[in-house]
Amino acid sequence: MNDALAILISGSAGNWEPRRWKQQFAAALPDRKVALLPQDAVDPADIAYAAVWKPPAGALLAFPKLKVVFNLGAGVDALFAKPELLPKVPIVRAVSGDLTGRMGEYVLLHVLWYHRQQSLFDDAQKRREWIAPDQWAAPALRVGVMGLGTLGRDAAIKLKTVGFDVAGWSRSRKDIAGIRSFAGESELPDFLARTDILVVLVPLTKDTRGIVNRKLLSGLARGGVLGGPVLINAGRGGLQVEADILGALDDGTLIGATLDVFNTEPLPPNSAFWTHPKVRITPHNAADSDPAMLSRDVAEQILAFERGEPLRHVVNAGTEY
């Protein structure tokens, strides 16, 4: 029998409904055993590949002949929460045009929402009032993208295409036409000081946990066209210190926040974020992993790997992304 694929997904609804993934993987790999765990019966020694989203800690150690783990999202922080329980095999993360396109849509939508002062019009409509606020053009708004990797780079280019004044921050310097690149901790203060809207798209790692805190938010630009800085976090909840964000919104350090990710998900009903007038919440759906698209990508990688070709998008265990 060909080396089997195990699917381990923590999730129950929407795109994380495990049976959707089983169906798509079975179609993408018709000649191979595909086992949805824990329900399907399979000999652990037959498993050569695992496709996972937040698998139970240590579950991957059950497969003695495992060759590759495919993470079904871009972020691998859930796996590296317990690195000592990871098998010593390559971990490949999701990189797909589908995922990248979705994130670009999300970033554009929310930056444009602030830029075009949409909340004023929503409120005015409720009052049946025809208002005429001043509106600036896109080059007047300075957007800063934290993380210029697969998703951040694409979002930054899309923002630049609309006309915004865009810069990005990453560990290593980038050369992207029309986008100023800031690199490393030493250049973070200058990056923040020129940023009206901060878009967070760094991965959650040992180096970035809690990076969106009071000190960082206090370093954002003042005096911009919005009247104060805005935070958009579509990365991970663990990047943000939530009490600091609430404090910054309350004392005017931030004028708004759009949050797709939270320390606890789903966001508990008693969270102050739900009712905060300056907060916009989305339910960690900035860029959903599509079962049909990603199972096809994983199947292609498995077949290429078996032809002796190198794996793509392998995570660096040292940097955790």
**Which of the listed partners (ligand OXD, ligand NDP, none) does 212 bind, with a CB threshold of 5 to 8 Å by partner kind?**
none
Name the one range near ligand OXD by CB under 6 A: 69-77, 132-140, 214-222, 248-256: 69-77
Choice between 144 and 228, CB closer to ligand NDP: 144
With both helix axes pointing from N to C terminus, report the angle between 97-115 and 150-162 in degrees, rounded to the nearest 10.
40
CB of 185 to ligand NDP, least distance (A): 7
Beta bridge partners of 314: 92
Which two tokens mark 147? Answer: 């993380």
Residue 147's binding partner out of ligand NDP, ligand OXD, none, with CB under 5 to 8 Å set by partner kind: ligand NDP
Inter-residue contact 40 to 26 (CB < 8 Å): no
Contact between 75 and ligand OXD by CB under 6 A: the answer reads yes
What are the strands of the beta sheet with 197-200, ordered from one edge?
180-183, 165-170, 142-146, 197-200, 230-233, 256-259, 279-281
- What residue number has its CB nearest to ligand OXD? 73
Determine phi and psi for 60, rounding to 5 degrees: -75, -15
> Among residues 27, 82, 18, which one has the least CA distance to residue 51?
18
Count of residues engaged in binding ligand OXD, rule: CB under 6 A: 6
Which C-beta is closer to ligand OXD: that of 237 or that of 256? 237
**Containing H/E element for 146?**
strand 142-146
The footprint of ligand OXD on residues 184-243 (CB under 6 A) is: none
For residues 4 and 91, which CB has a smaller minimum distance to ligand NDP in the complex?
Answer: 91
Distance, C-alpha 64 to centroid of its chain: 31
Q: Are 240 and 212 in contact (CB under 8 A)?
A: yes
44 contacts 87 by C-beta, under 8 angstroms: no
Name the residue nearer to ligand OXD (CB basis): 52 or 192. Answer: 52
Q: Which is nearer to ligand OXD, 268 or 283 (CB)?
A: 283
293: nearest Cα among 15, 1, 81: 15
Please list the active-site residues.
Answer: 236, 284
Task: Say which residue the tokens 């600036």 belong to.
Answer: 136
Q: Which residues bind ligand NDP (CB under 6 A)?
A: 73-75, 99, 103, 147-152, 170-172, 201-205, 207-208, 234-236, 260-261, 284, 286-287, 321
Least Å distance between CB 225 and ligand OXD? Answer: 31
Q: Which of 170, 289, 295, 301 binds ligand OXD (CB under 6 A)?
A: 289
Q: Closest Cα to residue 254, out of 282, 283, 274, 277?
A: 277
Binding ligand OXD (rule: CB under 6 A), the pick from 28, 32, 55, 73 is 73
Q: How far is the CB of 29 from ligand NDP (least distance, A)?
A: 24
Residue 50 CB, nearest distance to ligand OXD (Å)?
Answer: 17
Looking at the DSSP assignment, which residues form a beta bridge with residue 281?
Answer: 259
| Binding interface with ligand OXD (CB under 6 A) | 73-75, 94, 287, 289
